[in-house]
Amino acid sequence: MTDTATFLLLRRAGHTLALPAALTRQALPLEALTPLPAASGVLRGLMPAAGRAVPVLHLEQFLALDTGAAAQEAPLVLLIESGEEVLGLPVDEVIGFVNDDRPTFSGNALLTEERVLGGYVGGGHKGRYLNAPQLFTEVSNQLGAI
């Protein structure tokens, strides 16, 4: 028996990413952010959501994504949650859901190698799985408690 899960597909700066749907909470329009000078580029700033100030990650910088000409201001922010911690991920588009085998990440890697997401035969979305639990760990390590 394989270990499968549901993943949410999103697009940011020309990259398709998938993360566990169980960690996603809400997609909202990305509004004005309150900058955090000491965040050293990890965070784009804070935005009000869900009755609190939510840190919005500088996703493409944090994941070292090659954005080229595709980088522009994201219209949406996807709220993800792990325990009591909430992060906002800037996204260009929420694509939908796929069921797939749980990916294996090497070491503390944040991303898998690029592959067809959801295992579609003859098509589908090519992208990478995001190790969301490791993302929370690394952001916490860099900034302290979120």
- Residues paired with residue 117 on neighbouring β-strands, in sequence order: 125
Average pLDDT over residues 139-143: 83
Name the residue with higher pLDDT: 141 or 94: 94
Q: What is the pLDDT of residues 69-126, one digit of tens each?
A: 556 788 999 999 999 899 999 999 999 998 888 888 888 899 999 988 886 655 578 9
Q: Does domain 1-102 have CATH number 3.50.50.60?
A: no
pLDDT at 142: 80
pLDDT at 72: 75
